[in-house]
Amino acid sequence: MIKLVYTEGVDNMSDLSYTNEQGQTVFTSQYFRNRGTCCKSNCLHCPYGTTLKNLGVQFSKVEDIEVAKEILKGKEEKTDNLTSSLLSSAFGSKPKKKAAVITEEDKDKFLFVFLKEVLCGVAKTDGRSLSSLYLKDEFNDQGLSQDIVESYLN
């Protein structure tokens, strides 16, 4: 039996799946959200939190800096600190954002983040906690927040 997926609100059918590096079709969190229920199979892009709850995230040191640079490409470094927040509210200007960058000299401040042994992003650390989290685009919409990912760090 073929089950039709309700796709109202989906601008592009490519929002529902993508082809990974191994040539396999992978369903996105939007696909699973449209389906409406969790199958509890630990799907890679589960928007219901099942996979994250059951398997967590794993970390490894950044060894291949080019892979990290590819993930960081086009991403901005977060500047959400108290000082910049107070200044922007007092003077009405937003702090300037700068591009997220990794170099050979500071690569030890970064970690690769994995979900189900699939690279999903790069995290910047300040030694004990995450200062920033940069996810691959296909992982942005499934609840992998900086706080949640950081909870698996220790």
- 2 domain-assigned: no
> Which of the four pLDDT bands, split at 50, 70 and 90, describes residue 5?
very low
pLDDT over threshold 50, residue 2: no
**pTM for the predicted model, two decimal places:** 0.78
pLDDT over threshold 50, residue 14: yes
- 4 domain-assigned: no
Total number of domains in the chain = 1
Please give, one letter per residue, the 3-state secondary structure of 66-117: HHHHHHHCCCECCCCCHHHHHHHHHHCCCCCCCECCCCCCCHHHEEEEEECC
- 45 domain-assigned: yes
- 76 domain-assigned: yes
For residue 142, the one-letter residue type is: Q
- 5 domain-assigned: no
- 6 domain-assigned: no
Sign of CA dihedral 20, 71, 110, 125: negative
- Which domain does 72 fall in, by range? 13-151
- 63 domain-assigned: yes
Q: What is the pLDDT of residues 84-137, one digit of tens each?
A: 556 666 776 665 567 788 999 999 999 999 999 999 999 999 878 899 999 999
- 3 domain-assigned: no
